[in-house]
Amino acid sequence: MVNRISILILCGMFGTAAQAYELDVSKPKPNVFGYNYVEAGYVTYNDLEQDGLFLDGSYNIIKNLNFTVGYSSVSGDTVGGNGIDVTNFQLGVGYHFKWDFTKPKHTHDLLKRMDVNALLGVESTKTTIDLPVTGSQSDAEAGIYTGAKFRNQIVPKVEVAAALTYHSGYDGYFILSVEGLYEITRNVHLRLSSDHQDKDPFVDLFDNDSLALSVRYNFL
């Protein structure tokens, strides 16, 4: 019930902002950023002392519509000292567009360089725990995820982004993400990101977080 209420609140906030700033998604504006890239990196979680590698990719199917794919594999120890391995696979689509702030007239220049990416996809997560008596036990969970990501270019070579997504697996939870990208070359970007996962994304911040460092290659 709480998750449903949270989703309705988020939808209402997004709709109100869209109306206030005359956001017309039926007429896509040119994007500020590219959506054809591959990415690889390292991620660590602070709750179970897990770490591992991940791969991400995005490809523009048609104008303003991109296909996304993601894979991660992390391992570590549980609180009881048992080994744990978690793999996650995601497949989805995104509808992206430049947020055209036409109201108010005195909108700050930073808000004129923002893209919005509405996300929808499916994912599968497999968790394997090594127990001393019974051996390894595995559990798999599949579900859908949906949300939105906001990308903003604050200076010519620096991008910041924030995303909020809802995931239906494991009784439902939210992921609040923040990230920064630095342009090393025209094609290569260095990305630092942090995710916070919880039933309520704005409670117990920094208690169930991940930190990731990756390299993104953009196909221009």
More confident residue, 109 or 169: 169
83-98 and 65-77 strand pairing: antiparallel
- Tokens 């179970």 sit on residue: 48
- The pair of structure tokens assigned to 150 is 């906001």
Chain centroid, CA 35 distance in Å: 14
| 64 vs 111, higher pLDDT | 64
User: Please, are residues 42 and 214 in contact by the beta-carbon 8 Å criterion?
Assistant: yes
Q: How far is CA 110 from the centre of its chain?
A: 21
pLDDT in tens, 45-66: 876 678 999 999 999 998 899 9
Q: State the residue range of the domain holding 178.
A: 2-218
Which of 113, 119, 121, 169 has the alpha carbon at shortest distance from 141? 169
Selection from 80-84, 93-97, 213-217 with the highest mean pLDDT: 213-217
Dist. CA 96–CA 118, nearest whole Å: 6
- Amino acid 98: pLDDT: 82
User: pTM score, two decimals?
Assistant: 0.78
Q: Tell me the average pLDDT across 152-161.
A: 91
Q: What is the DSSP letter of 20?
A: H
Q: What is the CATH number of the domain that holds 8?
A: 2.40.160.20
Judged by DSSP in three states, 58 sits in strand
- pLDDT (mean) for 104-121: 75
What is the domain count for the chain?
A: 1
pLDDT bin (cut points 50, 70, 90) of residue 8 is very low
Distance CA 210, CA 24 (A): 34
pLDDT above 50 (res 25): no
82 vs 40, which has greater pLDDT?
40
CA distance 166 to 201: 10
pLDDT at 104: 54
**How is residue 130 written in tokens?**
């090594």
